[in-house]
Homo-oligomer: A and B are copies of this chain.
Amino acid sequence: MSKEKLSIVKIGGNIIEDETSLNAFLELFSNLEGKKILVHGGGKRATHMASKLGIESKMINGRRITDADTLEVITMVYGGLVNKNVVTKLQALNTDAIGLTGADVNSIKSDKRPVKEIDFGFVGDVKEVAHNSIDKLIQTDFTPVFCAITHDGNGQLLNTNADTIASQVAVGMSNLYDTSIYYCFELNGVLRDINDKDSVVRHIDSKVYKELLEQGIIADGMLPKLENCFDALKNGVNNINMGNTSMLTQANDNFTTITL
């Protein structure tokens, strides 16, 4: 039996930072047909607010070290400032949005990351997605808007990477839906030549992925991203798309689609 389609769209800091980009994106998202979920980060805004409050932002390998003060800033910026502004803007576009952290309806439980060489502080690795609770919201025609915060189920909020939230929510929802992830970023997709923005690899499957790896085309930051994509695909996600926000329209087919 074929399942209903569900799109999980993730936007990053660059879109959130710029009011015009954000408004343009939210209009595209509102017009996207079918059931959908939005996931947003907000790291740049959090770094800015932390600095205003005299809190130093420490990053290791692009991950934020989250001490108690930083967690407060993240809870304020992701859960409050960014999330609620996105929700009210979506309402104005007739999308019946509901803003969520992983604590709301107990939707995403995580484990505080164990301390090894690095103590990441209040950072959570996703353990459990309550797909039935999230689905109750979707079935009521509400559109969930997740920020990058989860919780441990014992009263502790935890900072969690937004890409991971998107992929883990998609995996969880694959129990009920035919899920597609859309990672919106600055590039037009995975590029064959990093200096040529139009050299988009339109379709990557396991075979193409192996070839690209052998050719050294996928490296650095893109490598873990794609590995996470294949993990999500192996765990039930139907397809994953990477490109700029216009991939949400029919007009643009110049982006990367990844399947198993």
Contact = CB atoms under 8 A, between A and B. Distances in A.
A81 B101 CA distance: 12
B84 A79 contact: yes
B88 A81 contact: no
A88 B52 contact: no
A182 interface: no
B142 A105 contact: yes
Number of copies: 2
Nearest to A154: B92
Interface residues of A, number: 41
| Dominant secondary structure of chain A at its interface with chain B | helix
A94 B26 CA distance: 34
Interface string A88-102: 110110001111110
Interface string A109-140: 00000000000000000000000010011001
Given A92-B153, A154-B92, A87 B103 contact: yes
Nearest to A136: B140
Interface string A208-247: 0000000000000000000000000000000000000000
